[in-house]
Amino acid sequence: MSKEPPITRYTRTAIALHWLVAFGILGAFSLGLYMQDLPISPAKLKLYSYHKWAGVTILLLVLARLAWRATHPPPPLPETLPVWQRRAAQAAHHLLYVLLLAIPVSGWLMSSAKGFQTVWFGVLPLPDLLARDKALGDLLALVHRSLNFSMAALVSVHVIAALKHHFLDRDLVLARMLPLHRKRPGT
Evaluate if residue 8 carries a pLDDT over 90.
no
Residue 187 has pLDDT above 70, yes or no: no
What is the predicted pLDDT for the residue at 185? 45
2 has a pLDDT exceeding 50: no
The per-residue DSSP string of the chain comes to -PPPPPPP---HHHHHHHHHHHHHHHHHHHHHHHHHTSPSSHHHHHHHHHHHHHHHHHHHHHHHHHHHHHHSPPPPPPTTS-HHHHHHHHHHHHHHHHHHHHHHHHHHHHHHHHT---EETTTEEPPPSS---HHHHHHHHHHHHHHHHHHHHHHHHHHHHHHIIIIII--STTTTT-SS--S-TT-
Closest by CA position to 65, among listed 93, 88, 85, 86? 93
User: Under a CB-based contact definition with an 8 Å cutoff, are residues 144 and 107 in contact?
Assistant: yes
Q: What is the pLDDT of residues 20-54, one digit of tens each?
A: 999 999 999 999 999 999 999 999 999 999 999 99
Calpha distance 67→56 (Å, rounded): 17
Using an 8 Å Cβ cutoff, are 118 and 126 in contact?
yes
d(CA 108, CA 128): 8
Query: What would the pLDDT profile of 68-107 be if each residue is shown by its tens digit?
Result: 999 999 999 888 899 999 999 999 999 999 999 999 999 9
**Cα 67 from Cα 101, distance rounded (Å):** 13
What is the model's pLDDT at position 78?
87
CA dihedral of 76, 178, 153, 145, whole degrees rounded to 10: -110
What is the residue extent of each domain of the chain? 12-75+82-169
Q: What is the pLDDT of residues 53-69, one digit of tens each?
A: 999 999 999 999 999 99
| CA gyration radius, the chain | 19
Q: C-alpha distances in angstroms, 142 versus 4, 57, 94?
A: 50, 22, 23
- Separation CA 9–CA 151 (nearest Å): 25
| Predicted confidence (pLDDT) at residue 182 exceeds the cutoff of 90 | no
In angstroms, rounded to a whole number, what is the distance separating the alpha carbons of residues 133 and 43?
A: 25
Q: Give the CATH number of domain 12-75+82-169.
A: 1.20.950.20
pLDDT at residue 37 in the model: 92
> pLDDT of 141-160, one tens digit each?
999 999 999 999 999 999 99
pTM more than 0.95: no
